[in-house]
């Protein structure tokens, strides 16, 4: 049986990274805002190709709205939810700033309880952007996807955009560095092939611009990484049939392993056991 080892209620590192030090992850999302805009443009294109020129879109795990807000600017009525209050507060402020607070709304909610939080509401499409599944275990992910399925009618679209996937060869590459403005993320990665879990030590360092680095946060993260087939199977059991598969959704590129991203487009079907 697969178990998650991320602490009480599966929230320990998630709490530290996205809630307790939300200020740091907000810097990361802010410095990748234009990536969010590009993702939103591609999502809007796919929605239109599927006959949805406008309508209600639910964004699960929306962060600070770097995709929801540009999607509202594209003309959709977006409701974003996230477990982190600081992210939601930031998203609301940004929606005001971009003058779309009537079209981009945000609520704090745990994805694991989203069906009861949004009971009775129906959306035309659901989106999940970046690696937001895999934080718990596969049964929990399936449950979340089933709960999301209860919020749409049959035939509605689900877009999972730019998530990590198991075929990426770099999982064994050890230490990687990424810069986000004055923040430097040093990540020591180890991949557990038996449970398909990526175990990383994240060290976030502040660069003062004069060659001095100060540690802001050190945390061990852990997530379940899926193959495209595993994710498609989980989706099917939860009531979503995958129609198309891409790599990076911004380029609508063909999915192929060297690309670190996997994107799936699915439609709501009858759930199978």
Ligand X SMILES: C[S@@+](CC[C@H](N)C(=O)[O-])C[C@H]1O[C@@H](n2cnc3c(N)ncnc32)[C@H](O)[C@@H]1O
Return residues touching ligand X (CB under 6 A).
Answer: 14, 18, 29, 36, 61-63, 66-67, 82-84, 87, 110-112, 129-132, 135
For the chain, the distance separating the N- and C-terminal CA atoms, rounded to the nearest angstrom, is 18
Identity of the residue, 113 or 253, whose beta carbon is nearer to ligand X in the bound complex: 113
Shortest Cβ 163–ligand X spacing (Å): 9
Phi, then psi, of 113 in degrees rounded to 5? -125, 20
Neighbours of 46 (CB within 10 A): 20
Shortest Cβ 209–ligand X spacing (Å): 26
Identity of the residue, 104 or 270, whose beta carbon is nearer to ligand X in the bound complex: 104
Query: For residue 13, what are the contacts with CB-CB under 8 A and spacing of at least 6?
Result: 6, 7, 219, 220, 221, 222
Shortest Cβ 102–ligand X spacing (Å): 22
Residue nearest to ligand X (CB): 63
Identity of the residue, 94 or 103, whose beta carbon is nearer to ligand X in the bound complex: 94
Would residue 58 be called left, alpha or beta, if left means φ above 0 and alpha means ψ between -120 and 50 degrees? Answer: beta
Identity of the residue, 37 or 241, whose beta carbon is nearer to ligand X in the bound complex: 37
Shortest Cβ 131–ligand X spacing (Å): 6
Identity of the residue, 7 or 51, whose beta carbon is nearer to ligand X in the bound complex: 7
Shortest Cβ 63–ligand X spacing (Å): 3
């Amino acid at each position: 049986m697969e178990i998650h080892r991320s602490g009480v209620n599966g929230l320990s590192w998630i709490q530290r990274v996205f809630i307790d030090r939300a200020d740091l992850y907000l810097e990361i999302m802010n410095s990748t805002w234009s990536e969010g805009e590009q993702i939103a443009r591609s999502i809007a294109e796919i929605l239109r190709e599927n006959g949805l020129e406008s309508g209600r879109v639910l964004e699960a795990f929306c962060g600070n709205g770097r995709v929801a807000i540009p999607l509202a600017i594209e003309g959709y009525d977006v409701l974003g939810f996230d477990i982190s209050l600081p992210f939601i507060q930031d998203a609301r402020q940004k929606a005001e700033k971009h003058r779309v607070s009537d079209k981009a709304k945000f609520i704090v909610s745990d994805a694991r309880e989203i069906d009861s939080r949004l009971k009775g509401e129906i959306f035309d499409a659901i989106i999940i952007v970046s690696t937001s599944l895999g934080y718990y275990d596969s049964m929990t992910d399936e449950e979340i996807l089933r709960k999301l399925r209860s919020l749409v009618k049959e035939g509605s679209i689900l877009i999972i955009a730019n998530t990590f996937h198991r075929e990426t060869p770099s999982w064994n590459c050890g230490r990687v560095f990424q810069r986000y403005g004055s923040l430097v993320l040093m990540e020591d990665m180890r991949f557990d092939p038996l449970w398909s879990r990526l175990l990383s030590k994240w060290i976030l360092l502040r660069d003062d611009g004069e060659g001095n680095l100060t540690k802001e946060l050190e945390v061990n993260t852990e997530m379940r990484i899926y193959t495209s087939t595993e994710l498609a199977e989980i989706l099917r059991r939860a009531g979503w049939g995958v129609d198309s598969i891409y790599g990076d959704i911004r380029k609508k590129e063909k999915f192929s392993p060297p690309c670190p991203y996997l994107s799936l487009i699915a439609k709501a079907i009858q759930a199978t056991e």
